[in-house]
Amino acid sequence: MANHMQLNFQDASSPIMEELLQFHDHALMVALAICSLVLYLLTIMLTQKLSSSTVDAQAIELIWTILPAAVLVALALPSLRILYMMDEINQPDLTLKAIGHQWYWTYEYTDFKDLTFDSYMTPTTELPLGHFRLLEVDHRMIVPTGSTIRIIVTADDVLHSWAVPSLGVKTDAIPGRLNQTSFLTPRPGVYYGQCSEICGANHSFMPIVVEAVPLANFESWSSLTSS
């Protein structure tokens, strides 16, 4: 999760988030190269004596036409690749339904019978020692590691947004509509998120906690919870 004075993104906890971080760094390098070139040209113009002699401009016109097009292609191709990767959901191992309410989440494990629960923020007065204020919940969403998880997101009242930054997931919850996304966690861990759509007075008090556990632990938890 994020730390105080953190300037960069959270550590990636899914393959999609790793791709997004790499594209972010790639785009920054392109922007740095453009800024450096513009700064160099400005410096030359301010420090060198300008000449009014006629120069054949065909070469320079060709360069400033092709170079921006090449830059756009260098940004567009990896961006489209990641967009298609984020939309592609092939044979998920587990499907969950996240329903947004004012102001809590309901999780339904559609592959199991009667495995549904509400997830409320843990009040500060009941917060265990070492847990995070305004981020901890009474019932975490438990998922197995190394499995493709499909999340179907909707809302019961107003607009919400199911977002977990370290997993690279952010999907709007719209009443009367089903949106879907997916993620995969390669290692165990606890990942925190929050509703990212202003949904009323207590918008900042409906956190999201995803706990990834080994498959054996998940099977034990699901059998105990659904029984």
How do residues 76-85 score in pLDDT, each as one tens digit? 999 999 999 8
* Cα–Cα dist 28/126, whole Å: 43
Share of the chain above pLDDT 70, in %: 96
- Give per-residue pLDDT as tens, 20-71: 999 999 999 999 999 999 999 899 888 887 666 555 677 778 888 899 999 9
- Give per-residue pLDDT as tens, 178-222: 999 999 999 999 999 999 989 888 898 999 999 999 999 999 988
pLDDT band at 227 (very low <50, low <70, confident <90, very high): low
Residue 200 has a pLDDT of 87
Residue 107 has a pLDDT of 95
Classify 209 as helix, strand or coil.
strand
Entry field: residues in the chain: 227
pLDDT band at 225 (very low <50, low <70, confident <90, very high): confident
* Cα–Cα dist 91/83, whole Å: 18
Average confidence score pLDDT of the chain: 89
Domains delineated in the chain: 15-87 (1.10.287.90), 94-225 (2.60.40.420)
Residue 61 has a pLDDT of 82
* Cα–Cα dist 151/142, whole Å: 12
Span 83-98, average pLDDT: 89
What is the DSSP annotation of 137-198?
Answer: BSS-EEEETTSEEEEEEEESSS-EEEEEGGGTEEEEE-BT--EEEEEE-SS-EEEEEEE-S-
Share of the chain above pLDDT 90, in %: 61
